[in-house]
Structure 1
Amino acid sequence: MSMDKLLNQIMQCQLCQDKLPLPPKPILQISEHSKILIAGQAPGIATHHKGIPFDDKSGDRLRHWLGVNKNQFYDKNLFAIVPMGFCYPGKGKSGDLAPLTQCADTWHRSLLAKLTQVELTIIIGKYASKFHLQSDDSITDLTQRWQTLLTKNMIVLPHPSPRNNIWLKRNPWFENEVIPQLQMRVQGIIK
């Protein structure tokens, strides 16, 4: 199946409509030519309304961490953005609910198989880590393994949400050591 056909099917998906708080609205960015895969969690409410992934404060921080501007970030031939859940899952007690598993179960393997040009996979958060690395380790532990993971063309990041300011403050090594290396790798790929 072509990428266009697959994306069309994803955009028409209604599998979870009875489990979602809002009508299904799959949000992702992808091209067969994408060089960097951002594997995230699920769209938040602002993303659901705008229809643009990471067009918020989390996205501003993520673009800063990557060392790219909005034009580069939203170039689907450079960056694929494939969250674990394509639709907003709803609000929980301390943030958004977990991504629904139907997206990964139904679409991810076929979609990711088409990404043959990817040179780096950026894994954001525990749900994406569990899927891509089959790991239940904490984000802190996985992030600390950045050097080993980069040799496998992967890296795990905490979610760039302002909710993680405390984690960033407690782990200054992340912005001091990891981010410069990540930026260097990203620049080497997109040039």
Structure 2
Amino acid sequence: MEELLSDIRECTICKDFIEPNPVVLASKQSKVIIVGQAPGTKVHQSGIPWDDASGKQLRNWLGVTDEQFYNTNNFGIIPMGFCYPGKGKSGDLPPRKECAPLWHQPLLDEMPNVQLVILIGMYAQNYYLKDKAKRTLTETVDAFHEYLPDYFVLPHPSPRNRFWLTKNPWFEKEVLPQLKKIIKELL
């Protein structure tokens, strides 16, 4: 596992397009895998996954402390794109497409204790759920029960998603209590 993590951290497959600085956190003991989009600028600088406002919100949604979250016996963090993809017109660019097909399965093969994979955002949901994903992220998250016990689907916890959260109050009332209950049981 350590050799694989080292290979990922040294990966430069996308060097012709972006500045590589792969961010990953996992161990053979990881019980819950978090698959998000890609690191943002702050995480690109720090090298610590979810080390930003989105990460603070995610830990709140999960009902865990920083110590629990960054304990690789609890969580493995495997983004769709391991490096910051750059800035787009309305936020960050999509994650690079090279990463997930190259690294996800070898990582998952090294983690026999995984009991749940949390899919954050449409890129992760479409990649893992394939034709089982609904037409929109909102529909997929609303149907979260359909993907259990293997997957739990979430919107991105970015502060930019305040409008989505306001428009969909059922998420905080119905989905988050279930998520916190499952995470508490797994940890």
TM-score range, shorter chain: over 0.9
Match of 1:165 in 2: 162
What RMSD, in angstroms, separates the aligned Cα atoms of the two structures? Answer: 1.0
Question: Offset at 1:154?
Answer: 1.2
Letter of the 1:81 partner, please give it: I
Contact 2:36/2:79 (8 A) holds in 1: yes
Match of 1:28 in 2: 24
Give structure 1 stretches of 5+ with no counterpart: none
Match of 2:142 in 1: 144
Distance in 2, matches of 1:156 and 1:140, equals 10
Distance in 2, matches of 1:162 and 1:70, equals 19
Letter of the 2:183 partner, please give it: V
Distance in 2, matches of 1:26 and 1:178, equals 31
Relative distance call for 1:129 and 1:117 in structure 2 (3 A) is same
**TM-score, structure 1 length as denominator?**
0.94
Give structure 2 stretches of 5+ with no counterpart: none
Segments ≥4 residues shifted beyond 6 Å: none
Match of 2:57 in 1: 61
Letter of the 1:162 partner, please give it: P
Question: Offset at 1:156?
Answer: 0.7
Cα displacement string for residues 11-63 of structure 1 (whole angstroms, at most 9, x for unaligned residues): 1111101110xx31110110111000101000000100011111111111100
1:5 maps to 2:17: no
Match of 1:108 in 2: 104
Q: Give the aligned length.
A: 185
Q: Percent identity?
A: 49
Contact 1:129/1:136 (8 A) holds in 2: no
1:78 maps to 2:64: no
Which region of structure 1 is more displaced relative to structure 2, 99-108 or 163-172?
99-108
